[in-house]
Structure 1
Amino acid sequence: MTDNMRRSRTLNSRRSFLRKGLAVGGAGAVSAGLLANGMPAFAQEKHKGLDRGDIAILRFLAAAEIIETDLWQQYNELGGIQDSEVPGGSGNPTYTAALKNLDGDMDQYIHDNTDDEISHFRFINAFLMANGAPPVNLDRFRTLPSSKATGAQQIGRLTNLMQLTVDTSWWTRYRSSTKNPDFGDTFPQAVPDLFSGQFPAIPRNDGDLTPPKHIQAIANTAAFHFGFIEQGGTSLYPSLAQRVSNPVVLRILLSIGPTETAHFQTWHDKAGNAVTADNPLAPAPLTDPTNGLTFPDLNSPPFGGEDFQTNLIMPEPTIFLSRKFPPCSIIRPTRTFGAAMAAANALIADGLFIGQPREFFKVLRELAERADEARRQV
């Protein structure tokens, strides 16, 4: 009983912190025009029945999409297409050219991914507001510095792309036919160096634009980071969908989640072009002469073979639910226990929030904890 009373006081304290810590409404969350002109159906249908769990899941997903939007906007300012759909920045020709060594349409793909993430967080926040629930606004944490390279806006950021520790085990995880993280299995790093240090995924200033192998290594880092970010969303939506109660909220998760998978498969393909000797403009192995970061040729020993073949971009069939069943091509992981906190911790370990105050981490983990506490009500 004493433990329950303590837990109740702790939860009340945390909820009070969230109410004070996250602004309700505001231009950074969703515009009034969006609700008035873009979402009339919600106001007319007046969907009811959103329990605390559904709201907690949507709020965590809104925060995740805001974070994704912030990092993708930085990529787009320097390496994407600047237009009215994704405003801000003016482009950096040298960085863009290094990205295009991996695929001639990289700038378009970056632009479209950015546009998608913007639409996700605006939609989720609008749906929350239309149902009487508070949206998420992280604007007061936009204090991290921008890149000083030509093309970047000089505004406050939520995320850091200049000191990343990129987990590249997603590459080997999706190529394994015998292992699944839902069973506790672990996977080797495709690019070990990226996971053992801190490296920029965008030029920090114009000094990073040379020598050519340095800026190419930065572009290659970005390519693997794109895959890391989007495989997280690919798993997060089906994992949390298993805890949703309201059928409309379930529809939202089942509709947005597959777009994250579409993003991931695109970036899986482009990362493969960063680690193959077949690309004459960005051949692997590639070693950055300024810091020793090496991208191996994954088609050659000690890699090579079917598991590391760089033109594989579809999930290999693997064990699912039980080892007694035959292998199945699946998204992995999809275990729902602790899914939100695992996603938050992965973003933190990535280095995205280097420089953020302790309060930011407390807010993010609180949102994740509330989402993980949701239980499907039948």
Structure 2
Amino acid sequence: MNRVETREDHLEERVKPLKSSISRRSFLGTSLAVGAGTIGAGLLANAPTARASGGLTRGDADILRFLAAAEIIEADLWQQYNELGGIQDPEVPGGTGNPAYTAALAVLDEDMDQYIHDNTDDEISHFTFLNAYLASKGAEPVNLDQFRTLPSSQATGAQQIGRLTNLMQLTVNTSFWTRYRSDSLNPDFGDTLPQAVPGLAAGQFPAIPRTDADLTPPDHLQAIANTAGFHFAWIEQGGTSLYASLAQRVTHNEVLRILLSIGGSEIMHFQTWQDKAGNAPPLTDPTNGLVFPDLNADGELTQTNLIMPEPTIFLDRAFPICSIIRPTETDGAATGALNAFTADGLFIGQTPEFFAVLTQLAQAADHARHGR
């Protein structure tokens, strides 16, 4: 049994003291996962002042549900990374590790396995908390288990179970790297930043070994580990912006506290992974031509040790530049996050029903406004 299953199985016990009438079927949110028609029925048609059960506004509940879904997705992908390159223990069980892949990741930092383990544990804690909080307020939590149908890696160390996400055909957008180093560009103003590793954004590449055949030649395996390193940072910069963007839409102070508190941990994740990705050795994958350039050869926009957010334009170009999280534009933030996940290749092989459910969750979150 993997960690995700274990935590979901125990969630009912955690919430029971808060609302003893919640059944297991209701708590696991089966109705949210059975199809777009069920999840969408009436969600956007309620009056602006309508409130979900337990005092949450409809908008607050919708935002929390989308974030729970996003965290379930993140927990799924981090679980795969941990099975092969992290630490498998009672805290994050599942898989048996892949020594060659773990060693390639350690080139980026000798503690990568510990960081992967802890990030996995954090994401699982996020979605279990969000679902428990929703249930405690009488609001419907989220369960995506019926969509765990994608295949696992066949490499030594991976569990052979269904997955929500695909880590074997990624197209990683590395413009986040230059975005946080630019002092004059900000995507909130419509600016486009260059890619730090152009090749990663121009094809589909594995971030975990697909089979043991991917363990050689050495530069191929290192390219897979390098891809993972940049993907780690990409995932967590997305969470950093998502929580900050959606926090502007919530109504209740307690919900705001939840978003600020979980969002802060996403920032810490991103800072860690950005630092480690900078240690990815320059190389060319001999099997597919993917190039990892020397990031310290092209000036400050890609310089590896510039991991603090460079001050940049914020709110209005007339203001002095400021060191900030970016982007934080709230309009369309949830749909933007879903589109980014999709463009990344995480959902290659998923069903139309899966996309329909996530689209309605995102649209409901984007429809939320302060006070409703």
Normalization by structure 2: what TM-score?
0.88
- 1:298 aligned to which of 287, 295, 300: 295
Instruction: Name 1:10's counterpart in structure 2.
Output: none
Tell me if 1:307 matches 2:301.
Answer: yes
Decide which of 263, 286, 293 is 1:257's aligned counterpart: 263
Q: Which residue of 2 aligns with 1:371?
A: 365
- Residue 156 of structure 1: which of 162, 167, 185 is its match? 162
1:170 is matched with which residue: 153, 163, 176?
176
Which of residues 332, 349, 354 in structure 2 aligns to 1:355? 349
Q: Secondary structure at the match of 2:61?
A: helix
How far 1:48 moved relative to its partner? 4.2
TM-align CA RMSD: 1.8
Match of 1:53 in 2: 59
> Any conservation in 1 of the 2:8–2:128 contact (CA below 8 Å)?
no
Q: 1:73 aligns with which of 74, 79, 86?
A: 79
2:252 matched to which residue of 1? 246
How far residue 26 of structure 1 moved from its aligned partner, in angstroms, is 11
Q: Which runs of 5+ in 1 are unaligned?
A: 1-24, 275-282
How far apart are the structure 2 equivalents of 1:299 and 1:369? 41
Residues 1:237 and 1:30: Cα distance change in structure 2 (over 3 Å): farther
Q: Which amino acid counterpart does residue 60 of structure 2 have in structure 1? A: D
- Residue aligning to 1:105: 111
Q: Residues of 2 paired with 1:170 and 1:270: CA distance?
A: 14
Letter in 2 for 1:287: T
Between the aligned partners of 1:71 and 1:167, the Cα distance in structure 2 is 17
Equivalent residue for 1:33, pick from 6, 13, 16: 13
Q: Deviations over 1:79-105 (max 9, x none)?
A: 000001101000000000000001000
Give the aligned partner of residue 121 of structure 1.
127
Find the aligned partners of 1:30 and 1:67 in 2 and give their Cα distance. 19
Conserved in 2, the CA contact under 8 Å of 1:30 and 1:122?
no
Give the equivalent residue in structure 2 for 1:211: 217
Report the CA distance between 1:27 and its aligned residue.
7.3
Contact 1:146 1:156 in 2 (8 A): yes
Indicate the residue corresponding to 2:34 in structure 1. none
Q: Which residue of 2 aligns with 1:5?
A: none
Provide the C-alpha distance between the structure 2 equivalents of 1:256 and 1:159, rounded to a whole number of angstroms.
Answer: 22
User: What letter is aligned with 2:73?
Assistant: I
CA contact (8 A) 2:284 2:292 kept: yes
Name the amino acid aligned to 2:293: P
CA shift for structure 1 position 332? 0.2
Give the aligned partner of residue 329 of structure 2.
Answer: 335
Confirm or deny that 1:289 pairs with 2:286. Answer: yes
Measure how far apart 1:306 and its partner are.
Answer: 2.0
Separation of aligned partners in 1, 2:140 and 2:289: 47
Equivalent in the alignment of 1:20: none
The 10-residue stretch of structure 1 (77-86 or 28-37) with the greater mean CA deviation from structure 2: 28-37
Specify the code of the residue in structure 2 equivalent to 1:230: E
Q: Distance in 2 between matches of 1:74 and 1:26?
A: 16
Task: After TM superposition, give the deviation of residue 31 of structure 1 in Å.
Answer: 2.3
* Partner Cα distance (1:160, 1:234) in 2: 22
Alignment deviations for residues 220-247 of structure 1 (CA, whole Å, 9 cap, x no partner): 0000100110000000001000000011
**Aligned letter for 1:31?**
L
Distance 2:80 2:191 in 1: 34
Residue equivalent to 2:95: 89
Aligned partners of 1:97, 1:31: CA distance in 2, in Å? 35
Is structure 2 residue 340 aligned with structure 1 residue 346? yes
Q: Percent identity?
A: 73
Q: CA deviation at 1:29?
A: 7.6
Count of residues in Structure 1 that have an aligned counterpart in Structure 2: 336
TM-score, structure 1 as length reference: 0.86
Q: Give, in whole Å, the separation in 2 of the partners of 1:311 and 1:130.
A: 44
Amino acid paired to 2:292: F
1: distance between equivalents of 2:352 and 2:130?
Answer: 26
Residue 11 of structure 2 aligns to which amino acid in structure 1?
S
Matched AA of 1:35: V
Distance in 2 (CA, whole Å) between partners of 1:244 and 1:290 is: 48
| Structure 1 runs, 4 residues or longer, greater than 4 Å off | 25-30
The 1-side partners of 2:345 and 2:8 are apart by 23
State whether residues 311 and 321 of structure 2, in contact with CA within 8 Å, keep that contact through their aligned partners in structure 1. Answer: yes
Q: How does 1:131-150 map to 2 (within 5 A)?
A: 131-150=137-156
> Does the CA contact (< 8 Å) of 1:30 and 1:126 recur in 2?
no
SS of equivalent residue, structure 1 residue 260: helix
The aligned amino acid for 1:269 is D
